[in-house]
């Protein structure tokens, strides 16, 4: 056997021994990379004082919803483009019993806000249906008479960016003058009494009545 072939054989033997002895480490490394990737894909947990993840919503088709949100143009838009100071986002699902039970009080909150001239343009409400198609979102809207815009999230893409929160979940976001966002209130579960929740929105966002 030629010396060059002997060297190749020796190198291959060293590499085999290295791979065999390194299997536990390589397995741990691959597992760690998977955990990091899964965490980044699911999004980081929301926190008060933090920014809302940069998510996009499909452009509303109804003229009334476009006018309510103050958006124009075509294609997906970002939440900070909504012309208001505070945005209340409800994460819901057609198949969530608590979302269904809370719908009347959530609708009442909308009606209260719309009846107060000095805040109705400064607080807007939207809903995002986690795992819900356009048909499912429209079914929820029609069954419960929801008066504010609802958006589908059929593949849970938005839901993952928001940390895969449970439903119903309420996120109150303040839009600053530079159009950046700040989360000022979070609530998991039922909204509670509409008037009391509105007072929390006003307090935590700094809006004055």
CB 35 within 8 A of CB 55: no
Question: With bands split at pLDDT 50, 70 and 90, how would you rate the model's confidence at 47?
Answer: very high
Question: With bands split at pLDDT 50, 70 and 90, how would you rate the model's confidence at 26?
Answer: very low
Tell me which H or E stretch contains 177: none
CA atoms within 13 A on the CB side of 131: 10
Length of the chain: 209
Helix crossing, 97-114 with 194-205: angle to 10°? 70
List beta partners, residue 92. Answer: 129
Would you state the structure tokens that stand for residue 204, as one six-digit string? 């935590």
Would you state the structure tokens that stand for residue 59, as one six-digit string? 């452009």
Question: With bands split at pLDDT 50, 70 and 90, how would you rate the model's confidence at 208?
Answer: confident
- What is residue 45's predicted lDDT score, i.e. its pLDDT? 86
Q: What is the mean pLDDT of the chain?
A: 83
Q: Where are the domains of the chain?
A: 1-42, 56-205
Is domain 56-205 annotated with CATH 3.40.30.10?
A: yes
Residue 86, pLDDT above cutoff 60: yes
Residue 209, pLDDT above cutoff 90: no
Residue 115, pLDDT above cutoff 70: yes
Residue 115 to residue 100: CA distance in whole angstroms: 24
- Give the 3-state secondary structure of residue 74: coil
Question: With bands split at pLDDT 50, 70 and 90, how would you rate the model's confidence at 98?
Answer: very high
Average pLDDT over residues 175-184: 89
pTM: 0.78
In angstroms, what is the C-alpha Rg of the chain? 25
CB 165 within 8 A of CB 91: yes
Question: With bands split at pLDDT 50, 70 and 90, how would you rate the model's confidence at 176?
Answer: confident
List beta partners, residue 171. Answer: 89, 186
Question: With bands split at pLDDT 50, 70 and 90, how would you rate the model's confidence at 1?
Answer: very low
Segment 55-80, tens digit of pLDDT: 899 999 899 999 999 998 777 888 88
> What DSSP designation does 132 have?
-
> What DSSP designation does 122 have?
T
- What is residue 16's predicted lDDT score, i.e. its pLDDT? 56
For 38, residues 6+ apart whose C-beta sits below 8 A from its C-beta are none
């Amino acid at each position: 056997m030629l010396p060059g072939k002997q060297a190749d054989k020796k190198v291959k033997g060293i590499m085999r021994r290295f791979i065999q002895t390194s299997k536990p480490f390589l397995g741990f490394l691959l597992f760690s990379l998977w955990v990091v990737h899964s965490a980044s894909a699911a999004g980081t947990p929301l926190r008060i004082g933090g920014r809302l993840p940069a998510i996009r919503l499909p452009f509303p088709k109804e003229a009334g919803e476009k006018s309510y949100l103050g958006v124009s143009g075509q294609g997906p838009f970002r939440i900070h483009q909504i012309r208001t100071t505070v945005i209340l986002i409800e994460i819901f699902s057609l198949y969530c019993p608590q979302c269904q039970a809370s719908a009347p009080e959530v609708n009442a909150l909308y009606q209260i806000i719309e009846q107060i001239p000095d805040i109705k343009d400064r607080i807007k409400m939207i809903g995002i249906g986690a795992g819900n198609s356009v048909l499912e979102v429209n079914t929820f809207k029609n069954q419960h008479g929801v008066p504010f815009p609802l958006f589908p999230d059929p593949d849970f893409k938005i839901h993952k960016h928001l940390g895969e929160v449970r439903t119903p979940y309420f996120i109150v976001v303040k839009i600053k003058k530079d159009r950046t966002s700040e989360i000022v209130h979070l609530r998991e579960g039922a909204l509670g009494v509409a008037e009391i929740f509105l007072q929390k929105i006003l307090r935590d966002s700094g809006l004055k009545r």
